[in-house]
Structures are given as C-alpha cells and as structure tokens.
Amino acid sequence: MKLNTNFSLLLLGQSLADIGDVLYTVSVISTVFVLTGSVSVSSFVPFTITASMFISSLLTPILVGKVNLKWLLAGSQIGKTTLLIILGFMFNGLTKSNYYLIFILIGLIALLDGCANPIRQTLIPHYVKHEFLIQANGIAETVTQIIQSVMWFVGSIFLIFMSPQQLVWLVGGLFVIASVILCLLENVKHKTTEPKRKLEQIKEGWITLSNTTVLRKIALIDCFETIAGTVWIAAILYVFVSDALNVDEKWWGFINGSYFIGLIFGSIYCIKCSSFIEEKLGTFIFIGSLAISLATILFSLNRIPMIALLLSLVVGLFGQIKNIPQQTIIQTSVTKGKLATLYTTSGAIVTGIFGISSLLMGILADLLGIRAVFIISGLLLALVSAIVHRNKYLFVTKVKQQE
C-alpha cells in the first residue's frame, strides 16, 4: 500500500498528539503526587480524563455536520495546545492548597481530546480507498500501540532529568507541530442534513447503531469485551503479578510490554495479509475472540511467569487480529456521513462501561480473589466468540462510500 499524503499527515499529526498526551499525563500525575503525597488523589488524574472524554463523546455529534471534519480535528488540537500552554504557566504557582486547578485544565483538555479519535477513524475512509482500509487501519493501530507501549516508559525517564513543567513545554512544542500538520489536511465532503435540534443530533449515532444489525452486534461485543478488558488495568494486573505469580513488580512491566508487543505483531500481520483477511473477516474475528478467551482463562490458572508473558502476547496478538477487521466492517457498514456520530456513540458506550466495570472488577477481585476475575473475563470473551460465530455471516465489508 502506498500511503497518500492526507493519510500520512493524519497519522503523523495524531501520533505527535498522542505522544504529547502520554507525556503531559505523566507530568501531571507526578506533579499532583509531589504536591499531595497521595496515591488516591493522583489516581483521579486518569479518572478526570476518562470522565471528560465520556462527556465529549456525548456532545461531539452536535458539532458534526456544522463544522468541517478536518477543522473539527485541527481545531480541537489547537484548543488543546492553548490550554496546555496555560497549564505550563500555571505550574509555577501550584501549591497544596490550589492543586485542584490542574484538574479543571486537564478536564478541559480531555473534553477537546474526546472528539479526536472518532474523527480520525472517520477521516480514514475519506482519505484511503476501500481496498486499502484494512492496511490503513493496521498501520494506524501499529503506530498507536507503539506509542502507548513506549511513551509511558519514556515519560518516566524524562522526569529524571526534566521537571514536570519542562516536560509540559516539550509537549506544547509537539502539540504546536501537530496542530500545523492537521491544518494541512485536505477538506473532506461531509454531507449535512437539514438543521436539527441538539437532542436529535446527539441521538443520531444511537439511531444509526440501533438500525444497523451488524453494528448492534458489534456494540454488544464491545460491551462484553470492555468489561472483560478491565482485568488488564494496572491496579488488577499488579495484584495478579504479586499474589498469583509471586514475583516482584518488574514483571508487571514485562507482562504489559509483552501484551503491547502482541498488539504490534497483530497489526503487522493484518497489514501484510490484508487481502487474505478481507476474504474471511468473520472467520478472523471469531478466531481472534476465541483465542483471547482461551488465553485469558489459561492466564488465570497459570503460576509460571514466563508462560504468563507468552499468554499476554497471545492476547495482544489475537486481539488485534480481531479488532482491525472489525474496525473495517464498521467503516463500510454505513455511509461516510454517519461515521462521525457513530464513532462518538461507540466511544461513549465503551468509555462509560469501562469506568463502571473497572470499579466492579476491583470489588470482585477483593471478594472472589484475583484469579477469579480473570476467569470471569475469559468467560465473557467466550460469550463474545459465540456471538461472532452465530452471526458470522454479518461480518463482511459493504461498499458504502457515498456521502
């Protein structure tokens, strides 16, 4: 696949923004911890970001159709850059008595950031031909996962020789470059319908989802997978490493790294074998969901750290082999004009369920034991594979490239 200019700009601009997001989050968590000395207060940083992105997912449909998609993406990045610069100047005056101000700013940044991912996913089919969608999604996912797997570690290294404020200024530079690059994107034609009331605009994505059979099934799958996936969050996985595997905390990093390596390998496989995968989308989604179900159950029963690494890699590998074809099905199941509201709806569902189920899985881990929650996760994923197998005929690409 030869990358066209617009897709390359989109990928580069969003990648710089994603790198900046990780680095500034690291700096904010560090600052809050230094000011308060409280782990629980520091944990409210990712909670605030997640909650704001959930609200953003609900409100973004109001802007879709009124604002050109390219400028909605670029404008949100410019807004994030402005707020981050304000945050940089604020660092000098932060104390234990006014640290709460930082939560207001990161909430506003996340509010703008919440529309970026669904808009990026919407723009890919505009910039990439139908026959290259699997490869394009694979490349985008590969880059995203590399950033996620590397930058948290890099951010912690940066804090050794940089202050949190200096790290924020570095991120500000990345955000400025990302804003310029996203402004260079070509405008896309996004069909707007007659003016609607705000409530109707918010409901549009939900209506599209409920009226499209394959999207309803994918939404159901996403719900179960999101609940199942919360066992891999840091708090639960850290306890598993300590209590179930009886090894020190460095193995938490090893298992996380193995998982992300699996994601990257899965993305690369989808890029290399896109033509073969496109002929058997339903089969790959089924095999992927079944494999991660079995690997998760085996992970819960295993006591050997090296096997845990291997199983973690398998979960990442087959998770990506399942998710990229599934993403392609979503992008071709409705017209381009409906994709943005559809993605914001999907984002709201996943973000909301993730927040609730993270808390629920933590409670279940205390009540039932750490191994039990991984078994529950594996059984939920087995249910996903059953849903996919029963509805495999639905999982095909449909060329709906009209506006």
**Does 171 lie in the same domain as 253?**
no
Q: How many CB atoms lie within 10 A of CB 189?
A: 11
Average pLDDT score over residue span 49-57: 82
**Does 280 lie in the same domain as 185?**
no
pLDDT of residue 65: 65
**Does 259 lie in the same domain as 178?**
no
Q: Is residue 400 part of a domain?
A: no
**Does 150 lie in the same domain as 248?**
no
pLDDT of residue 258: 87
% of the chain residues with pLDDT over 90: 29
Confidence of residue 402 (pLDDT cuts 50, 70, 90): very low
Query: pLDDT tens across 279-337, in order?
Result: 888 899 999 999 999 999 999 999 999 999 999 999 999 999 998 888 888 888 877 77
% of the chain residues with pLDDT over 70: 92
pLDDT of residue 403: 45
Contact call for residues 333 and 214 (beta carbons, < 8 A):
yes
**Does 178 lie in the same domain as 58?**
yes
Q: Is residue 225 part of a domain?
A: yes
pLDDT of residue 172: 93
Average pLDDT score over residue span 376-397: 89
State the residue for tokens 């405008």. Answer: 187
Q: Is residue 9 part of a domain?
A: yes
Per DSSP, the residues of 345-369 read HHHHHHHHHHHHHHHHHHHHHHHH-
**Does 229 lie in the same domain as 361?**
yes
**Does 175 lie in the same domain as 224?**
no
**Does 283 lie in the same domain as 386?**
yes
Q: Is residue 403 part of a domain?
A: no
**Does 11 lie in the same domain as 99?**
yes
Q: For residue 13, give the H/E element and its range.
A: helix 5-36
State the residue for tokens 């605009």. Answer: 201
Regarding predicted confidence, which is higher, 399 or 141?
A: 141
d(CA 227, CA 360): 9
Q: Is residue 399 part of a domain?
A: no
**Does 172 lie in the same domain as 33?**
yes
Of 163, 190, 217, the residue at which a domain comes to its end is 190
Average pLDDT score over residue span 350-375: 84
Q: Examine the pLDDT at 210 and tell me if it is beyond 90.
A: no
pLDDT of residue 197: 62
Would you state the structure tokens that stand for residue 91, as one six-digit string? 């660092």
Query: pLDDT tens across 226-254, in order?
Result: 999 888 876 677 778 888 898 876 787 78
Confidence of residue 208 (pLDDT cuts 50, 70, 90): confident
**Does 238 lie in the same domain as 144?**
no
Q: Examine the pLDDT at 70 and tell me if it is beyond 60.
A: yes
pLDDT of residue 61: 76
Q: Is residue 243 part of a domain?
A: yes
Give the angle 315-138-300 at the CA atoms, nearest 5°: 5
d(CA 26, CA 154): 10
Q: Is residue 401 part of a domain?
A: no
Of 190, 209, 234, the residue at which a domain comes to its end is 190
Q: Residue 86 belongs to a domain with what CATH number?
A: 1.20.1250.20
Q: Is residue 275 part of a domain?
A: yes
Regarding predicted confidence, which is higher, 74 or 355?
A: 74
How many structural domains comprise the chain?
A: 2
Contact call for residues 48 and 103 (beta carbons, < 8 A):
yes
Range of the domain at 204: 200-394
Q: How many CA atoms lie within 13 A of 61 on its CB side?
A: 30
pLDDT of residue 401: 45
**Does 376 lie in the same domain as 231?**
yes
Q: Examine the pLDDT at 179 and tell me if it is beyond 90.
A: yes
d(CA 242, CA 252): 9
State the residue for tokens 């918010």. Answer: 202
Query: pLDDT tens across 253-269, in order?
Result: 788 778 888 988 998 89
pLDDT of residue 12: 93
Of 130, 159, 190, the residue at which a domain comes to its end is 190
Contact call for residues 27 and 159 (beta carbons, < 8 A):
yes
Would you state the structure tokens that stand for residue 339, as one six-digit string? 């994709």
pLDDT of residue 201: 64
Predicted TM-score of the model (pTM): 0.74
pLDDT of residue 3: 61
